[in-house]
Each structure stands twice: as structure tokens, then as C-alpha cells.
Copies of this chain bind each other. A is one copy, B any other.
């Protein structure tokens, strides 16, 4: 029996919010509906946010109203709050959690958990402290986010082992970016450390549109492809996902970082040129 992994697709939120060009609402709805049939356990569809600040997602209400909900898939949206220090943010979120009172399972994301592009190192003790505080409030799970791609595999392994040892009953999700090329190496370190849930974005969307070639979120299809090759059961239909990934450059108007959609899967072989047969027949 291969280990079952679980994927949360974030391209239509974490990806599209960074795009320069508006993706038509019909295309967004069609993409989410197609993603719903691929085997993801969650889809982060959009964000209810200021259309002035994130014009790309100004159609959030319409998208949420039009998508077809598939049983077994959780659909989430991002709702930003005011800028505040961690302690005030915790207090505000505590009130939400108390208000919900167990009627809906709560998952909390901790951003910049592996490093902050302004403050630098984030001590593991700090991460354990905030994880414990949310666990004490009864959340179902925590998503540990490497928001700006600063995590390295050694740190990931140590971190996920410490978090799971301290809070073994929480549902842990890892959210990696490929900003410095370490995305899939960090996924490998995380699965080696026992993590089974990941956020990822179709095509590796999520990078800055003004930095061609700069990576964003880890790429869904590349991540699935690696883990399936290693024998994991991702629950996701890779050929279906690849077909969607191959439409992305047209949808967003530029090449996307994902590699497998360009190169094909390991098992997608090329026809051998004629000279190979001559070589095979030549006696040694």
C-alpha cells in the first residue's frame, strides 16, 4: 500500500492574484470546475479582497456563485484582515474560532514560517509556540507556509518532525514556494518527515509577473509527477492536470514555470530514430 497524499490547488487564488492580465470570469469558473474533477481535496478558489488592490480577483463573488461544488472537495477563499501585530491577529482569530464553536473545521495558515524576507530567521521555538496556541483553540489543522521561498530541506525536515512530535493530532499542510529553486527538494524533505498534505499551484503560478522566469508556488503537476514516480498515491489524475496546465500560458498570456507540462512525463517516450535500430543490430 502506497502512502496517500492530499493536495490543495491554489493557482486560481495565490497564482492569479499575481497576474498582470485579468483572466475572464468564464475561464476562471471553467478552470475551477475542471480542477474539481482532478482529485484535489481542496481548492483555494479566489479571494474576497479589495478590487482596487487585487483587480485580478474582483470577480470573486461571481466565481464563487457559479462554480460547481463537487462532493469531497473543500472550496476556500482568502479574506484579508487589517494589518496588525501577531498578538492582535491571534486575538481576532481566536474570536472567530470561538464564534464558529466547532461547527466548521478550522485550518490556520502561518505565513513566513521558515524565514522572513525582512527579519530573517524565524526560530523553530516561535513556530512551535504559535502552533501550540492555535492547537489549544481546537483548530483541525495548520498550514506551515514558506511564503517567500526561504526554507531549505534540512530546516523543513527538522521543523515538520518537531511540529508533529509536539502536536501529533493536528492535520499538517505544507505550503512551499520555489523562489530559490528548492521547492521540490523541500517537498521531498517534508514527505520524508511524514507530511502528507501540500498546497501547490497549477503551472507553478504565483511568481511576480514582472520577473520572467521567477518561480512562484511549487508547481502542482511537477510535484504530483515526482511523488507519483516515487510511488506515492497523490489521489490526483496527473494526465488531466497536465492538460489543464498546458492551457495556462494561453490563459495568463505568458510562459509558466512548470517543467513537466513542457517536457512530458518520465514515461512519455519519444520514437527512436532509425539509426538506433542499426546500432541495435550491429554485432558487438
Chain A residues close to B by CB (< 8 Å): 83-85, 87-88, 91, 115, 117-120, 149-150, 152-155, 178-182, 184-185, 187-189, 211-215, 219, 222, 225-226, 229-231, 255-260, 262-263, 265-267, 269-272, 275-276, 279-280, 282, 284
Closest-CB distance, A143 to chain B (whole angstroms): 21
Secondary structure call for the A interface:
loop
**Which of B87, B185, B263, B275 is the one whose CB lies under 8 Å from A149?**
B263
In the bound complex, residues from chain B placing their C-beta under 8 Å from that of A265 are 180
In the bound complex, residues from chain B placing their C-beta under 8 Å from that of A269 are 117-120
In the bound complex, residues from chain B placing their C-beta under 8 Å from that of A154 are 229-231
Tell me if B120 and A267 are in contact (CB < 8 A): yes
In the bound complex, residues from chain B placing their C-beta under 8 Å from that of A260 are 180-181
CA A259 – CA B215 in complex, angstroms? 7
* Sample (25) of A-B pairs whose CB atoms are under 8 Å apart: A84-B282, A85-B280, A85-B282, A115-B266, A117-B269, A120-B269, A152-B266, A153-B188, A153-B230, A154-B229, A154-B230, A155-B229, A178-B259, A179-B259, A179-B263, A180-B259, A180-B265, A181-B225, A181-B258, A181-B259, A182-B222, A182-B226, A185-B226, A213-B262, A214-B262
A225 (CB) vs chain B CBs: closest residue = B180
Closest-CB distance, A230 to chain B (whole angstroms): 4
Closest-CB distance, A260 to chain B (whole angstroms): 5
A272 (CB) vs chain B CBs: closest residue = B118
In the bound complex, residues from chain B placing their C-beta under 8 Å from that of A179 are 259, 263
CA A195 – CA B135 in complex, angstroms? 40
Tell me if B152 and A226 are in contact (CB < 8 A): yes
**Which of B91, B118, B256 is the one whose CB lies under 8 Å from A276?**
B118
